Amino acid sequence: MARLKVVGGTNTGAVHAISLAERTDATSREDSLIIGRDIDSGIMVADTGVSRHHAEIFRIGDKYFVKDLDSKNGTFVNDEQTSLELLKNGDKIRIGQTEFAFDGSSADDQAGPVRYSTESVSAPTMVIDLKKLREEKPGAAPMEKAAGETVKVLFQAGKIISEETNERKLMRSILELAANAVGAEEAHVLLSGPGGELTAKASIRKDNRPVTVSRTIVRRVAQHQRAVLSQDAAQDERFKKGDSIIAGNIRSVLCAPLTVAGKLNGVLYLATSTEKGAGFTPENLELVTVLAVQLGLAIENLRAAERQKALFFKTIRALVNAVSLREPAALGHAERVAGYVKTICDQLDLSVEERSKMQIAGMLHNIGKIAATDDDLRLISRDDRDTRTEFIKIAEKIIKQIGGLDFVLPGIRHTYEHFDGTGVPDGLKGDKIPLMARIIAVANEFDKMTAMKGDEGAPMLLKDALEKLRKMSGKELDGDIVTALMIAYKKGTLFETAT
């Protein structure tokens, strides 16, 4: 699988896997990896020189391309600005202050298009009907018949599924578990694409050969949604004529469907070329069938969660855009505040979960302005306490009506509290102010000084803004949070948001 490695700028050393469906041409809008400042980008690079949707990576055949998406400051490959470029191993892609190295030869997961052998299979086979399996009485369930080792495998699978939230890592872990349990030399998860074609999304095998499977076996599993065991395929002369997953030397194959609500989403495919008499067994087929059922449900659940997450961020983006339309002078303010919040969280060594929640709260801290009139905005800009309090309450109502965003309420309500207890709406003081609100307050003030206003309405110089923040420490702002921002500035990370 191809990948991008960060070699300069923010998060140096980070590696981003590129798992994409194939495009038919460079103008289609099919699967791509977006790089940009937007919070829902595949790779988020939130500095001022990066557009929301800055560039995209896409694939045609086995070739990868980078395409500039009409960005403001351009996309550079090997220090030359480009609109569309075919990527080669080692190419350097620069977007804003971040530089990526392209590696198209990575074989970490051995994923890719599937090659089919064209043979038919007449070797001894065994079939499990999933429908009948579901209808069996509890006393006849395969798990209850299984030996202790099988129960352990199923327990481990359940543990993996309950803990893993990354689809590719989930598939890889289940493949390793299944292969070890049945003695498979190779194991693959093949998932259906938009057109129904199967693509290898995760694989375990001894070399870098293309994923090649038996079309006959896969078709049988897909058409009938039944798991299949080819007991000794190597004895079938017609099988030898085809290109097999182990170069014509397969002894035994297991293939089970990944189904959810009667819909086939892919197959789990295992093969071995061990010595005669040591092929897969019916017990192996039962185990792999159950693992496939578990994996199919787990993948569907993760994808449902991703769809929900996409809708969630779409809602956030719509709210932020609505505020920008109401107050054009604040365009980009929410995104910049979220970026500074993230940098401060990094400096304070907060958890990934805390950081994510605080970034979202930073995006939404001024959401109440959606309902503000021009007169209201003028009063807010003059720090009118009553008007500010009124729109804090409006913001809380908006967030509560949306649902799923309750975690941002401490930041929404208390960003305008002052560390010395003179702020609104509750007059909280010191550590009584939620940490989320104290962090957003510093990020908010810094952005207002450097990007939105200053003396005579012009943005302040950075050194002047940092000095003003220092003077506000212990009064309006938490001095420890101000110090964290200043350290990030000195380290050169203040304007860089990690992906």
389-444 confidence digits (pLDDT tens)? 999 999 999 998 887 899 999 999 999 999 999 999 999 999 999 999 999 999 99
Which pLDDT band, with edges at 50, 70 and 90, does 249 fall under?
A: low
Gap between the Cα atoms of 35 and 65, Å rounded: 13
3-state SS string for the chain: CEEEEEEECCCCCCEEEECCCECCCCCCCCCCEEEECCCCCCEECCCCCCCCCCEEEEEECCEEEEEECCCCCCEEECCEEECEEECCCCCEEEECCEEEEEECCCCCCCCEEEEEECCCCCCCEEEEEHHHHHHCCHHHCHHHHCCHHHHHHHHHHHHHHHHCCCHHHHHHHHHHHHHHHHCCCEEEEEEECCCCCEEEEEEECCCCCCEEEEHHHHHHHHHHCEEEEECCHHHCHHHHHCCCCCCCCCCEEEEEEEEECCEEEEEEEEEECCCCCCCCCHHHHHHHHHHHHHHHHHHHHHHHHHHHHHHHHHHHHHHHHHHHHHCHHHCCHHHHHHHHHHHHHHHCCCCHHHHHHHHHHHHHCCHHHHHCCHHHHHHHHCCCHHHHHHHHHHHHHHHHHHCCCHHHHHHHHHCCCCCCCCCCCCCCCHHHCCHHHHHHHHHHHHHHHHHHCCHHHCCCCHHHHHHHHHHHECCCECHHHHHHHHHHHHHCCCCCCCC
pLDDT number for residue 293: 95
Is the pLDDT at 487 greater than 60, yes or no? yes
- Cβ(433)–Cβ(407) under 8 Å? no
Which pLDDT band, with edges at 50, 70 and 90, does 499 fall under?
A: very low
Sheet holding 75-77, edge to edge: 15-18, 2-8, 98-103, 92-95, 75-77, 80-82
pLDDT number for residue 246: 37
Is the pLDDT at 369 greater than 70, yes or no? yes
Gap between the Cα atoms of 236 and 256, Å rounded: 21
- In total, the chain counts a number of residues equal to 499
Which of 64, 39, 317 shows the shortest CA–CA distance to 53?
39
CA of residue 414 relative to chain centroid, distance: 30
Gap between the Cα atoms of 295 and 175, Å rounded: 10
Is the pLDDT at 103 greater than 60, yes or no? yes
Q: Which residue has the higher pLDDT, 124 or 399?
A: 399
pLDDT number for residue 119: 53
Gap between the Cα atoms of 325 and 244, Å rounded: 59
Gap between the Cα atoms of 355 and 9, Å rounded: 20
Gap between the Cα atoms of 368 and 391, Å rounded: 5
pLDDT number for residue 181: 94
Q: Which structure tokens are listed for 354?
A: 């805390």
- Cβ(157)–Cβ(174) under 8 Å? yes
Q: Which residues contact 59 (CB under 8 A, 6 or more apart)?
A: 2, 18, 20, 21, 22, 23, 31, 65
pLDDT number for residue 216: 86
Residues 261-276 pLDDT 10s = 889 999 999 998 755 4
pTM of this structure: 0.60
Residue range 113-122: mean pLDDT, rounded: 58
Residues 152-172 pLDDT 10s = 999 999 999 999 989 999 999
Q: Which amino acid would we find at residue 411?
A: G
Which pLDDT band, with edges at 50, 70 and 90, does 123 fall under?
A: low
Gap between the Cα atoms of 494 and 339, Å rounded: 8
Least confident of 311-320, 415-424, 464-473: 311-320
pLDDT number for residue 482: 96
Which pLDDT band, with edges at 50, 70 and 90, does 189 fall under?
A: very high
